[in-house]
Amino acid sequence: MNTGFHVKHNCFCLQHETSNLRPLHAQVGGHVGMKIFDDRYVCKPLNRRELQFYQAIPRQLSQLVPGFVGTLTNGNAEDGEEFYSNKSKNCSDSAGSQTSDYLVLENLTMGYKKPCVLDLKMGTRMYGDFASEAKRQSQKKKTVKTTSAKLGVRFCGSQRFSVSKNNFEKLDKYVGRKASETEFRDLLENFFNNNGFLRRDIISHVINKIRDMRESLLDLNQFRFYSSSLLIIYEGQHFSDSEAAGSFESEDSMDCDSFNATIRRQGSYESEDSMDCDSFNATMRSRKTSLAKIKIIDFANATMPGVFEDDLVHEGPDAGFLLGLENLQDILESLYEDEPRVRKP
């Protein structure tokens, strides 16, 4: 099956036979049905506001969110389904039409054999500036009853691979809505329990990522991530030491000459939207060395300066989101410092 791209009118178009969408089984939060395309991409039903957010994301935020590839038109184009890149002017215009159905994002679970996935709803406010009064009141009542009000974070769903059962254990958002602060901590502990012990290596890695994320968000004036989530992913399958080293510690990457030769040979990315060599190698290194991924997702209610004209101007960084990160870091640090004990795998 051909999985390549070809350039058409300054946009990337998918061959019809490659546009086979199937459900994203690793989805643990939200109410929107996500799809997988070609294993490499996640297709999310298109929200115009979220599309605008992804198209305008600044460089300092780009490493904290899933890679945005473009939009997918499903079944309404003359040549079948079409895919548009995220930077071309023509593509942006097409993405704004009524035929654009999906946002196309990188598949964050790609490369994981048994991805353990945690969705945490962040912040103390769950509605956008454009929300109706009824929506505002509904979300305020929901927030007050959950850990969101005090901690700025609540459990929104998870899947954890159980070695003993050889299957995934899933919990939904309703568990998080009922959870007290103590129960929220227990949910985090359970998520990081894998192969019969608490994955303190993963917890330590996530703590460092959260610390870096807090520093980055402190510099983002007037950004608000209302009702956005934090997605945490790690490998749940047991590896031998040698396998683990090959999966997570290798620094091998394609050199620039090989990279450019491959691009020329494939003819896959021939427009100004292509990834340069340095970016390619940085991406490959981050994929190989990361014990866990932690990304901010869901921007249908988010706002940033200079993009959404009717939104209010919010001075300073997002205090609610930062509160959630701070409390999450504190809880994870307390888990890390607990005495090790045998747990059910």
**Taking the complete model, does pTM exceed 0.85, yes or no?**
no
Instruction: State residue 284's pLDDT score.
Output: 41
Cβ neighbours around 178 below 10 Å, total:
10
| Dist. CA 160–CA 117, nearest whole Å | 7
Instruction: State residue 7's pLDDT score.
Output: 26
Residues sharing a CB contact under 8 Å with residue 228, sequence separation 6 or more, in sequence order:
122, 123, 296, 297, 298, 299, 301, 302, 321
pLDDT tens digit at each of 345 positions of the chain: 333 333 232 334 444 344 577 767 666 666 567 888 888 899 999 999 999 999 999 999 999 999 999 998 876 545 455 555 554 333 334 434 444 488 999 999 998 999 999 999 999 999 999 999 999 999 999 999 999 999 999 999 999 999 888 899 999 999 999 999 999 999 999 999 998 899 999 999 999 999 999 999 999 999 999 999 999 999 998 765 444 444 444 333 344 454 344 434 433 333 333 344 454 444 444 444 478 999 999 999 999 998 887 888 999 999 999 999 999 999 999 999 987 665 565
Report which secondary-structure segment, H or E, holds 8: strand 5-8
Helix axis angle, 319-337 to 181-191, nearest 10°: 60
| Dist. CA 288–CA 111, nearest whole Å | 10
Amino acid in the structure at residue 238: H
Instruction: State residue 344's pLDDT score.
Output: 60
Phi then psi for residue 199, to 5 deg, are -75, 80
Q: What is the DSSP string of 161-210?
A: EETTTTEEEEE-HHHHHH--HHHHHHHHHHHTEETTEE-HHHHHHHHHHH
Instruction: State residue 84's pLDDT score.
Output: 56
Q: If we measure between CA atoms, which residue out of 249, 147, 152 comes closest to residue 205?
A: 249
Instruction: State residue 65's pLDDT score.
Output: 97
Show contacts of 313-318: CB within 8 Å, 24+ apart. Answer: 313/222, 314/222, 314/223, 314/224, 315/221, 315/222, 316/221, 316/222, 317/217, 317/218, 317/219, 317/220, 317/221, 317/223, 318/123, 318/217, 318/220, 318/223, 318/224, 318/225
